[in-house]
């Protein structure tokens, strides 16, 4: 199709295609334009140099002519006058002159503004005048050539002829000016052709070197791409275009691989995060305490169970050495130290932890330690697993206690039969003796004492049999508050001078249990408190709801301000036949604990000598799997009762 028949859009496309250059051509054109620009700058500098030299030369000649003419006018009017000399010297700074001399036609010096001997000159009118004596005889004005002076400076003189009005003699006024700048400019002008030529050759050389350095990497990249068979060479495309095409292809492939790597990274990171969270969930969910240390012994991880089992006295912190964290328990530190030194795979020990301010001050833990190793058996650190054995120890103690009680029951069954038979016979003989002896005789008090002691022993045997015989709980639903009030009323009748107070916190439902057995247990505890306090003593009883990890509880607290119990006896008071009283037999608190255990509850004691004792009883509010004989609901709410 002819161009004239094309549309405007097609013409624009043709024009763009016509003026489109390759990358290499564009670089060459750019270097060529740079050379032309440098030449233009070079000629411009030469032009400005010549223009400056011409301007400085004209300015210097104007100053020389002006100074010579002014000096001649002053000398013609009053030659040799001091005022005239002073005015002539003032012209030096006005016209920027070095010196002014007045000479005769033969070159002899008549006056000079330079009163001192100049360095490099023999006389004020120095030997430089010899250069110009031949021209002085002509009687014409002239400029001297530039000549050197002292201190590597250059000067130029102007000789101006004039006639002295008095003597009618022809005189010369010679003015001298420093033109060092003009001389150096002249010297530069002499060599500027060589400098310009060398500069052009240097620019051309640098341009060729630049082109070579620009194209060389692309050529190497192209050869490398051909060796790696990334692309097939095409004769239509230049090296740079081919390399750019390969580079674009590689960039596209790298972006695609980067995208895939990013997806894999996201997937791997999500899996790692999920695994980390899963491990955290496991550590958080298990009841065993876990402490992990690195190969330097610093804590790198632990769960809340570990802190809970060890108690607040052991502060676990990240990046803290296990010796510092577990310093209060030498058994743990020695076990872990043995693992580190002996390189054993595992170790095990039982420890006791005393927690201050708790109602159960002692906690029994089983500590299992081991070395963390990778697949190459390299040691990565330590792991410590803590298992709570407190409940197990309590169960074992209960089993031992029950076995003891069973043994006592078996022994007491046979012993009671023999003792009661003997006591019956003894009492029968005593009664016969008492009938045969008169009341005022000397043997009568003896027989009375024997009967009294026999009855006391009979009572002791009865109480012992009550403790040893199996108890059967008759489960009913009853009002615990009313039962406690009855116990307080009975105790108050025995010792009215003791102050009692009863406090109820929260709404209390009816309790499932045996009210007769619980009444006996509560009365024993209150009677013990009455015996421990003085006449003006005080007994505080509190009833409230509490909660443990498994179920809701009714908590009964009996607190007195009596003599207290020494710490050595706190662990023994619930054992049979242990007592600190002179006339006690040590079965009261043992029977109390037996009744509470039968109700699946627990009893705790805190005491400090001289300050008092606190008994805490916990009974379950959960309904047992029985048919209750009562279905009443307590309406008791928070109350403060003083009795």
**Other Cβ atoms within 10 Å of 155 Cβ, number:** 19
Q: With bands split at pLDDT 50, 70 and 90, how would you rate the model's confidence at 541?
A: very high
- Reduced to 3 states (helix: H, G, I; strand: E, B; else coil), residue 15 is helix
Residue 476 vs residues 307, 403, 593, 614, 637: alpha-carbon distances, Å: 41, 28, 20, 28, 21
- Reduced to 3 states (helix: H, G, I; strand: E, B; else coil), residue 642 is strand
Range of the domain at 371: 286-381
Instruction: Please indicate, yes or no, whether residues 369 and 414 belong to a single structural domain of this protein.
Output: no
- Strands 170-178, 538-547: pairing is unpaired
Contacts of 584 (CB under 8 A, 6+ apart): none
Q: What is the pLDDT of residues 547-567, one digit of tens each?
A: 877 788 889 999 998 888 888
List the one residue out of 256, 254, 261, 250 whose CA is nearest residue 228.
Answer: 250
* Cα–Cα dist 36/40, whole Å: 6
Structure-block tokens of residue 438 = 């008169």
Q: What is the pLDDT of residues 435-467, one digit of tens each?
A: 777 777 777 788 777 777 777 677 666 666 666
Q: What is the DSSP letter of 562?
A: S
Which residue, chain included where needed, has tokens 């060729």?
208
Instruction: Please indicate, yes or no, whether residues 461 and 529 belong to a single structural domain of this protein.
Output: no
Helices (H), 311-385: 322-325, 330-342
Q: What is the pLDDT of residues 293-315, one digit of tens each?
A: 887 888 888 888 877 777 777 77
Instruction: Please indicate, yes or no, whether residues 154 and 41 belong to a single structural domain of this protein.
Output: yes
Instruction: Please indicate, yes or no, whether residues 154 and 31 belong to a single structural domain of this protein.
Output: yes
> Which of the listed residues 181, 196, 229 is the one where a domain comes to its end?
229
Residue bearing the bigger pLDDT, 21 or 9:
21
Task: In the chain, count H helices and then E strands.
Answer: 14, 19
Instruction: Please indicate, yes or no, whether residues 543 and 575 belong to a single structural domain of this protein.
Output: yes
Over residues 131-138, mean pLDDT: 68
Percent of the chain with pLDDT over 90: 3
Any domain includes 29: yes
Q: What is the pLDDT of residue 233?
A: 57
Any domain includes 9: no
Over residues 112-129, mean pLDDT: 52
Q: With bands split at pLDDT 50, 70 and 90, how would you rate the model's confidence at 637?
A: very low
Q: What is the pLDDT of residue 614?
A: 92
Q: The domain that contains 405 carries what CATH number?
A: 1.10.287
- Reduced to 3 states (helix: H, G, I; strand: E, B; else coil), residue 561 is coil
- Reduced to 3 states (helix: H, G, I; strand: E, B; else coil), residue 354 is strand
- Reduced to 3 states (helix: H, G, I; strand: E, B; else coil), residue 309 is helix
> For the chain, what is the domain count?
4
pLDDT over threshold 50, residue 76: yes
Instruction: Please indicate, yes or no, whether residues 428 and 523 belong to a single structural domain of this protein.
Output: no
Tell me the three-class secondary structure of 425-482, residue by residue. Answer: HHHHHHHHHHHHCCCCCCCHHHHHHHHHHHHHHHHHHHHHHHHHCCCCCCCEEECHHH
Among the residue ranges 62-71, 244-253, 576-585, the one predicted with the least confidence is 576-585
- Reduced to 3 states (helix: H, G, I; strand: E, B; else coil), residue 126 is coil
Any domain includes 459: yes
> Which of the listed residues 207, 229, 251 is the one where a domain comes to its end?
229
Any domain includes 201: yes
Instruction: Please indicate, yes or no, whether residues 200 and 343 belong to a single structural domain of this protein.
Output: no
Q: What is the DSSP string of 143-166?
A: EPPPEE-GGG-EEEEEEEEEE-TT
Of 88-92, 364-368, 484-488, highest mean pLDDT: 484-488
Q: What is the pLDDT of residues 489-499, one digit of tens each?
A: 888 888 888 88
Indicate the average pLDDT of the chain. 76
Q: Looking at the whole model, is its pTM more than 0.85?
A: no
* Cα–Cα dist 435/448, whole Å: 11
Q: The domain that contains 509 carries what CATH number?
A: 3.30.565.10
Instruction: Please indicate, yes or no, whether residues 293 and 205 belong to a single structural domain of this protein.
Output: no
* Cα–Cα dist 87/94, whole Å: 11
Do residues 523 and 490 lie in contact, with contact meaning Cβ atoms separated by under 8 Å?
yes
Q: The domain that contains 80 carries what CATH number?
A: 3.30.450.20
* Cα–Cα dist 621/611, whole Å: 32
pLDDT over threshold 80, residue 510: yes
Any domain includes 541: yes
- Reduced to 3 states (helix: H, G, I; strand: E, B; else coil), residue 614 is strand
Residue bearing the bigger pLDDT, 619 or 361:
619
**Other Cβ atoms within 10 Å of 374 Cβ, number:** 8
Instruction: Please indicate, yes or no, whether residues 70 and 189 belong to a single structural domain of this protein.
Output: yes
Any domain includes 259: no
- Reduced to 3 states (helix: H, G, I; strand: E, B; else coil), residue 569 is helix
Q: What is the pLDDT of residue 253?
A: 83
* Cα–Cα dist 447/436, whole Å: 11
Q: What is the pLDDT of residues 158-182, one digit of tens each?
A: 888 888 877 778 888 888 888 887 7
CA of residue 14 relative to chain centroid, distance: 65
* Cα–Cα dist 189/36, whole Å: 22
Instruction: Please indicate, yes or no, whether residues 329 and 223 belong to a single structural domain of this protein.
Output: no
Instruction: Please indicate, yes or no, whether residues 65 and 208 belong to a single structural domain of this protein.
Output: yes
Among the residue ranges 242-256, 507-521, 617-631, the one predicted with the least confidence is 617-631
> Which of the listed residues 357, 381, 405 is the one where a domain comes to its end?
381
Any domain includes 77: yes
Any domain includes 481: yes
* Cα–Cα dist 60/52, whole Å: 12
Q: With bands split at pLDDT 50, 70 and 90, how would you rate the model's confidence at 218?
A: low
* Cα–Cα dist 10/116, whole Å: 88
* Cα–Cα dist 477/621, whole Å: 10
Instruction: Please indicate, yes or no, whether residues 71 and 212 belong to a single structural domain of this protein.
Output: yes
């Amino acid at each position: 199709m002819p161009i004239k028949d094309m549309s405007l859009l097609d013409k624009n496309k043709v024009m763009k295609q016509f003026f489109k250059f390759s990358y290499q051509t564009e670089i060459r054109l750019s270097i060529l334009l740079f050379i032309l620009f440098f030449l233009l700058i070079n000629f411009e500098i030469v032009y400005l140099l010549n223009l400056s030299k011409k301007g400085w030369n004209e300015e210097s000649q104007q100053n020389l002519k002006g100074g010579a003419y002014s000096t001649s006018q002053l000398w013609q009017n009053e030659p040799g006058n001091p005022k005239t000399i002073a005015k002539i010297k003032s012209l030096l700074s006005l016209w920027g002159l070095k010196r002014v001399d007045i000479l005769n036609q033969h070159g002899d010096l008549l006056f000079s503004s330079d009163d001192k001997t100049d360095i490099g000159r023999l006389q004020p009118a120095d030997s430089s005048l010899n250069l110009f004596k031949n021209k002085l005889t002509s009687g014409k004005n002239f400029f001297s050539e530039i000549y050197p002076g002292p201190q590597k400076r250059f000067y130029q003189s102007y000789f101006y002829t004039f006639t002295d009005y008095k003597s009618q003699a022809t005189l010369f006024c010679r003015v001298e000016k420093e033109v060092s700048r003009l001389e150096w400019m002249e010297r530069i002008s002499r060599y500027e052709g060589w400098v310009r030529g060398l500069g052009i050759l240097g620019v051309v050389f640098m341009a060729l070197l630049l082109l070579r350095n620009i194209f060389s990497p692309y050529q190497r990249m192209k050869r490398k791409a051909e060796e790696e068979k990334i692309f097939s060479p095409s004769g239509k495309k230049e090296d740079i275009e081919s390399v750019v095409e390969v580079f674009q292809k590689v960039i596209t492939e790298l972006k695609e691989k980067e995208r895939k790597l990013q997806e894999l990274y996201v997937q791997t990171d999500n899996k790692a995060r999920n695994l980390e969270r899963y491990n955290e969930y496991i550590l958080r969910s298990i009841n065993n305490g876990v402490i992990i240390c690195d190969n330097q012994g610093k804590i790198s991880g632990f769960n809340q169970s570990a802190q809970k089992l060890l108690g607040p006295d052991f502060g676990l912190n990240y990046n803290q050495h296990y010796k510092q964290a577990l310093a209060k328990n030498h058994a743990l530190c020695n076990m872990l130290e043995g693992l580190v030194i002996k390189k054993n795979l595992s170790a095990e020990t039982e420890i006791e932890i005393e927690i201050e301010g708790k109602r159960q001050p002692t906690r029994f833990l089983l500590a299992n330690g081991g070395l963390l190793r990778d697949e190459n058996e390299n040691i990565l650190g330590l792991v410590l697993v803590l298992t709570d054995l407190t409940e197990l120890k309590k169960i074992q103690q209960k089993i031992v206690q029950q076995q003891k009680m069973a043994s006592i029951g078996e022994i007491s069954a046979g012993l009671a039969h023999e003792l009661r038979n003997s006591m019956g016979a003894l009492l029968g003989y005593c009664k016969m003796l008492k009938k045969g002896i008169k009341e005022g005789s000397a043997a009568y008090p003896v027989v009375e004492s024997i009967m009294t002691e026999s009855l006391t022993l009979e009572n002791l045997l009865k109480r012992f049999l009550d403790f040893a015989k199996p108890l059967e709980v008759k489960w009913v639903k009853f009002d615990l508050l009313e039962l406690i009030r009855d116990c307080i009323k009975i105790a108050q009748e025995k010792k009215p001078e003791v102050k009692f107070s009863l406090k109820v916190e929260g709404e209390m439902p009816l309790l499932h249990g045996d009210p007769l057995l619980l009444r006996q247990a509560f009365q024993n505890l209150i009677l013990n408190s009455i015996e421990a306090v003085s006449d003006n003593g005080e007994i505080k009883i509190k009833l409230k709801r509490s909660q443990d990890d498994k179920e809701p509880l009714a908590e009964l607290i009996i607190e007195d301000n009596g003599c207290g119990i020494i710490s050595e006896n706190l662990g023994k008071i619930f054992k049979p036949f242990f007592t600190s009283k002179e006339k006690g037999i040590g079965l009261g608190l043992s029977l109390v604990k037996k009744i509470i255990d039968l109700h699946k509850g627990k009893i705790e004691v805190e005491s400090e000598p001289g300050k008092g004792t606190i008994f805490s009883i916990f009974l379950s509010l959960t309904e047992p799997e029985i048919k209750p004989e009562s279905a009443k609901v307590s309406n008791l709410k928070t109350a403060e009762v003083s009795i």
